[in-house]
Amino acid sequence: MRTLNTNEMTQQFDNMFMAPVRAYMALSIDYSEKMINAQMDASKAYVDTGIAQMRQMMEVKDAEGLRSYMEGQQKVAKELAERVKGDTDKVVSLQQDFIQKSQKITEDNVKQAQTAASKLSKTA
């Protein structure tokens, strides 16, 4: 009769199930933190730009000031468009990195499961 080795079973359970879960959770937390930071940075930049524009508008006192303000709006619109493009590229990059790393975790887990199943079938 075989004796039950609970330490070995616990280790196998950890390797097969809990280690991949921990790896995926760590990846998810890192991704969430990066996304939140990117969103906060973008929000701050957009709010700062909006407040600066309101302050400049408050400085308009005459037709010349209004003309100058309106000309400056083209520059602001161009800068905002570039900022939006950069923010979008950053988010896409973060998402692609997350997908690649999560696929790697899945592939490693599948390989490990196949190896374990192969060992189990040879011992049976």
Average pLDDT over residues 96-106: 95
Cα separation, 119 vs 5, in Å, equals 17
Residue 42 binned pLDDT confidence (cut-offs 50, 70, 90): very high
| Structure confidence at residue 110 (pLDDT) | 87
pLDDT at residue 43 above 90?
A: yes
Structure tokens at 88: 């979008």
What's the whole-model pTM score?
0.75
Q: Decide if pLDDT at 1 tops 70.
A: no
* Mean predicted confidence (pLDDT) in 31-51: 97
Asked if pLDDT for residue 70 goes beyond 60, the answer is yes
Distance (Å, whole) CA 80 – CA 73: 10
Whether residue 97 is predicted with pLDDT greater than 60 in this model: the reply is: yes
| Whether pLDDT at 123 is above 80 | no
Give the span between the Cα atoms of 96 and 102, in whole angstroms: 10
pLDDT in tens, 78-90: 999 999 999 999 9
What mean pLDDT, rounded, does the chain reach?
90
